[in-house]
Structure formats: structure tokens, C-alpha cells
Amino acid sequence: MKIRVGFGFDVHKLVTGRELWLGGIRLEHEMGLLGHSDADVLIHAICDALLGAANMRDIGYHFPDNSADFKNIDSKILLAKTVKLIAGKGYRVGNVDATVCAERPKLKKFIPEMQEVLARVMEVDVDDVSIKATTTEKLGFTGREEGISAYATVLIEKD
């Protein structure tokens, strides 16, 4: 069995007038993330990690932010397409370990639902999707609540 590891990172600005989508679920919040798609930073970081692990460049290469095809697209669709892309090279998702950095909203109670949604999209067990949430202790753009960032590490496998 061949295994590979990938790392992904994404950040989006918080703005009024947008819905907040994280980990494939909509959260009630007075601000949302700005982006061409639904701007789900967690899913975008996971996509980048998967693509990187398979040596397939990045999310912007496959789903460009200047394409009308991806305008306001649900990022779960991008994740499903990413899983199919890596499958085209014979890989499947082994596991995901991700961290979301946000001051608000507090994410702890939403993590189990995010894990279920992401596991379903990636066709893995819930136990194979680890999501952690942290703040930056009011430091930097995240601490000032100007944006949210996410990091993801993935393991992909090929028989």
C-alpha cells in the first residue's frame, strides 16, 4: 500500500451580508465569509490538502475563482469533485486532521455535525475526520474577527 500526506490552508474575510458556511454546514452568525464560492475555509483547506497529497496542484487550479461554473457553489460539491480527482490517480482518503481558527462563533458544539457531513462527502468513517477549533487569543486578523482560517492535513492511500 502506498500512502501520501498533504497539507492545506485557506483564509477568507468576514463580511456582512453573507451566510457563514464551515465544514459543510450553515452557522447562524452576523457575518459570513467572502469568496467566489460559499467560501467554506475548512472544506477549501481539505481540498488543497487532498490535491497536494496526490500532487495535483491546488483548489484554484481545478476550480478557478474567475469561472462562472463555481460562482456561489456549495463547497461540498468541490470536495466531492476533489475526492473523484484523486480517485482518478488511484487514491482514496485515509484520514483528515483539520483546525479552524475563529474567535466567533464558538464551534465546539458544531464539530460533530461537520464531521458527519464531511465523512459522508468523502465516503469515509466519521472517526477518520478530526476537526479542532481554536482562537488566536484576539491576535492578528482572526483575533480582530476580520476573517477565519483553516488548516488541514490528510493521508491518502493507494493499494
Q: Is 37 annotated as a binding residue?
A: yes
Q: Is 36 annotated as a binding residue?
A: yes
Q: Is 11 annotated as a binding residue?
A: yes
Q: Is 149 annotated as a binding residue?
A: no
Q: Is 57 annotated as a binding residue?
A: no
Q: Is 142 annotated as a binding residue?
A: no
Q: Is 90 annotated as a binding residue?
A: no
Q: Is 29 annotated as a binding residue?
A: no
Label each residue of the chain as H, E or C.
CEEEEEEEEEEEEEECCCCEEECCEEECCCCEECCCCCCCHHHHHHHHHHHHHCCCCCHHHHCCCCCHHHCCCCHHHHHHHHHHHHHCCCCEEEEEEEEEECCCCCCHHHHHHHHHHHHHHHCCCHHHEEEEEECCCCCHHHHCCCEEEEEEEEEEEEC
Q: Is 10 annotated as a binding residue?
A: yes
Q: Is 88 annotated as a binding residue?
A: no
Q: Is 69 annotated as a binding residue?
A: no
Binding site membership: which residues? 10-12, 36-37, 44, 58-60, 134-137, 141, 144
Binding site membership for a divalent metal cation: which residues? 10, 12, 44
